[in-house]
Structure 1
Amino acid sequence: MIDLFYAPTPNGHKIAILLEELGLPYRIIPINIRKNDQFLPTFLKIAPNNRIPAIVDQDFPGGPLALMESGAILTVLAEQHGRFLPAAGHARAAVLQWLNWQIGGLGPMAGQNHHFNQFAPEKIPYAMKRYTDETARLYGVLDRQLAGRDYVAGDYSIADMAIYPWVLLHERQLMDMTQFPNVAAYIARMGERPAVQRAYAEGAKFNWEASLTEEALQALLKA
């Protein structure tokens, strides 16, 4: 059993998609980042950077494994179960390259785009333009990579599971998808995968009004 510490954000969706694709048993422990659940002491022991997602893999070889950071979680689980990350060679390098492109580029830039265009208490035109333009540049990179490909690194992989939840939010990011036809087709293709649909259905159950207490979190982990 895997405990998934989760909020319905792109980074949270990544791990749910992989768990559904692998068919692994898992339990969602909701972390309401709007109410600062991520600062509960018990959660910080699992994820010292106070960010979701994080997991505790109760069945990990050698004993339970607590792991934070979405890229690390995707890589470790894919390696452990021998799927969605090639074992060696050029194919493995390609997947890791695009996974890291998402972690280091698309995610942070689109995240800042969300913040300044949707959530910032004051409108800062320079920041709004900077991050919208950089998001568009990254969409262009992805669009060119997807020309003639169904998936970003050839075969379906953890790189796609990392990228899809971010580009799914293209409207929030103010992207003109007529400029990125390959990305638009990719979004549709990814959305047809049953495991992706199941992962998002689980996320739809998340209640942003609910919040954990430290005592409740401890009790959940002992269950």
Structure 2
Amino acid sequence: LLVSKDLGKHLLEVEDLLQKHGLLEADISAQTERVEALNAAALKFSELEGYQPCDPQIICNRVTHVQTCLEELQDLAAKRRKDLEESRQLWAFFQEMEEAEAWIRDKEKILATKSCGRDLSSVLTLTTKHKATLGELGHRRALLHRTMKKGEKILAKKPPGGGGVVREKMRTLCLRWKKLEEVTGHHQRRLEEALSFFQFRADADDAVTWLQDAFRVATSDDFGHDEHSTK
């Protein structure tokens, strides 16, 4: 188990391997106490004066050998944990990257199909929703920044394979994020243009209505029948 090269093929599998390794570490810890107690008892036999059931040197050699084996076992366990922890970091990074990619794909689809409204009211509603999207984008940007930092730490440890997959995923996601921000900015400009247009049209309609009312009043033949109605 300790020399196994299996470090998991996804995050859940690594978590399972770490749990099993924790049980193995607990077993090693328990056996360590037992071995140390046996070694201490064995060394007492090598210190006996008079009758000695065994050559003291043989006892010392055995104790040294057992202690060396125990330390090697502990070293293997520590290395195995280190490798599993690094594997967990790697697969957690991949999972975060996949979640980010899925979120970007979802937003790309939404932005690609969004209209810019049919009137002033609908444009104002869409503008409010877009502001919420911008807020979400800012939150995701912070998450992505943290994920990229994790990727840089993984690369700094020089993972097996040279980190080519990690580097490529980081590069691809950065490009997709840049594209998403461009699409978001383009959609915002379209909304602003639509808002300006419909606002102008609404103002123009109001102006036309006012002019029509003013014209009717100005061209009316009704001059009133007395001082009160004339006012």
TM-score, shorter chain, exceeding 0.5 = no
TM-score (norm 1): 0.31
Q: TM-score, normalised to structure 2's length?
A: 0.30
Of structures 1 and 2, the larger Rg is shown by 2
Larger strand fraction of residues:
1
